[in-house]
Copies of this chain bind each other. A is one copy, B any other.
Amino acid sequence: MAGDVRGEDKKREIVRQAFDRFYDGGFHATGVDAVLSESGISKRTLYKYFPTKDDLIEAVLEFYGQFIVGKLFDPVAASNEEPRQQIMAIFDARKAMIDENPTRGCLGIKAAQEFVGKHAGLAAHGKHAALYVERRFVDLCERAGLARPAEVGKQINVLFQGALLLSQVYGDGSPFVSAKHAVAALLEADDEPTPSDRQ
């Protein structure tokens, strides 16, 4: 139906606007009025589609998840390069996004930080997002034929999240350079049969 399509379009537009505002201003610090002002959307329409602010935040977090998968992970996966190259490419691509917008870290992490211990549903989005990223890295480590893909994948995820966080705090993507070097070293170390067999 045409009506549904228009409604869904409006919904997406609201989420889009809210996405930018929450990303830059934080969830608690950004009121719904701030989301609406200069957006051409009326409050009534907002509350028609999202009965509470939390519902809107949830939709924004879902949008962010799709956004990051579509912009970061899927393109790299579609490149059909070597698994190791793909891991490096993910770090490069995320660094490029940070360089473009230095204050925008991970929105899921932001939500987790703001809602942990007080809104389980919203905090869970951050956890889910981090676990998804970890799984993608573990998959790539398996395909790369590493000796301990699960362990190294987790380590790479720690580096990824740490670099993302520090980039936001520092205001530039330089931590991704360090992280990438560390990833290279870890990948190389796990190629050999018994890497830590000395005490």
Contact = CB atoms under 8 A, between A and B. Distances in A.
A14 to B, nearest CB: 22
Interface residues of A, number: 50
Contacts of A113: 26, 105, 109-110, 113-114, 168
A186 B182 contact: yes
- Say what secondary structure dominates the interface of chain A: helix
Interface of A: 24-26, 28-29, 103, 105, 109-110, 112-114, 116-118, 123, 126-127, 130, 151, 154-155, 157-163, 165-166, 168-171, 175, 178-179, 181-182, 184-186, 188-191, 195-196, 198
Given A158-B179, A182-B182, A186-B186, 13 more contacts: A24-B117, A25-B118, A26-B114, A28-B114, A105-B113, A113-B113, A116-B168, A116-B169, A155-B181, A155-B185, A158-B162, A161-B165, A188-B189
